[in-house]
Amino acid sequence: MKIGGYAESLYIPETEEELIDITSKTYDEHGRVLILSGGSNLLINDEHRFEEVIYMGSACPEMIALGDGCFYIGASNRIQAVISFVNDNGFGGFEGLVGLPAMFGGIIYMNAGLGGAQKPLFTIGDFVERVRAYDLAKKTVVELSREECEFSHRSSAFHRHPYVILGAVIRCPERTPEHSNEIKEARKKYCRENFEYGKGCFGTCFSRASYKILKIVSIHDKIWRLGGGRVTFGKNNKNWIVNHGGGRYKDARRIINACIRAHKLCRKEVRCEVIIWE
């Protein structure tokens, strides 16, 4: 979102062992550890100084073809590199995620996919055979089956239990290079035409919401400038919130809070998909 944040200490572990060591040490009494992957689904309070943040960019870089359409993918890989690797081996299935500025660990955590809650086209959970993770509570590396990952719309067991995702084994269907390229190019074209590139955003803000209510709050925002005019609703999609430059945490938060309040007033279900570091 191009907002925030300050960390007293930023750790960039270079191996899985370093990652496990540092996450164990920074895991606090509230059962929380701040892990940053692509940062594409995070809203970070820019008025708070976070003590320790761990960046996932280097610790888990492995990508291994296991045969028969199965791959082990480390959490630190960018999703574009994962798609290319799987395609180069003659397989595919989640090329539609090519536009996400995200890492594989964040993709698993959020169960990223295309389509809404009612009509999902696919989610990464459809491809997962098992996830390797470090269990901070039990202090041990575990392997979770797809069922144990409890994948649902933009959510997973990783939201509810302190795991550090190290990587996952995925199984993919065969795909010709032509088919994969066609999907990637179509998706890139769609992103170019519909997304406001270069501006801060986190994709869809609410995993459950009424589009009508979001539209009404967006009109309210045009008049009252809830986001100070720096953060507004997206031009083409009212479920997107965009930072036009200089936006602050409180600007984005006011818009999100207004949407939640409006849903509650109308007794409609709402769930913010964005992870907020208060």
Ligand X SMILES: Cc1cc2nc3c(=O)[nH]c(=O)nc-3n(C[C@H](O)[C@H](O)[C@H](O)COP(=O)(O)OP(=O)(O)OC[C@H]3O[C@@H](n4cnc5c(N)ncnc54)[C@H](O)[C@@H]3O)c2cc1C
Residues that bind ligand X (CB under 6 A): 35-42, 56, 75, 99-103, 105-107, 109-110, 112-114, 154, 158, 164-165, 195, 201-203, 275
Q: How many CB atoms lie within 10 A of CB 192?
A: 10
DSSP tag of 41? T
Q: How far is the CB of 207 from ligand X (least distance, A)?
A: 9
H or E element in which residue 190 lies: helix 177-194
CA diameter of the chain: 57
Nearer of residues 43 and 213 to ligand X, judged by Cβ: 43
| Distance in Å, CB of 112 to ligand X, minimum | 3
Query: Based on CB atoms, which residue is closest to ligand X, 63 or 201?
Result: 201
Q: How far is the CB of 41 from ligand X (least distance, A)?
A: 4
Q: Which is nearer to ligand X, 86 or 102 (CB)?
A: 102
What are the Cα distances from residue 274, in Å, to 42, 136, 203, 241, 252? 6, 23, 9, 11, 11
Could you tell me if 48 and 210 are in contact, meaning their C-beta atoms sit under 8 angstroms apart?
no
Which of 235, 278, 236, 271 is closest to 256 using CA atoms?
A: 271
Closest residue to ligand X, judged by C-beta, is: 106
CB of 150 to ligand X, least distance (A): 15
161: left (phi over 0), alpha (psi -120 to 50) or beta: beta
Nearer to ligand X, 68 or 159 (CB): 159
**Smallest separation, CB 56 to ligand X (Å):** 5
Shorter beta-carbon distance to ligand X: residue 14 or 174: 14
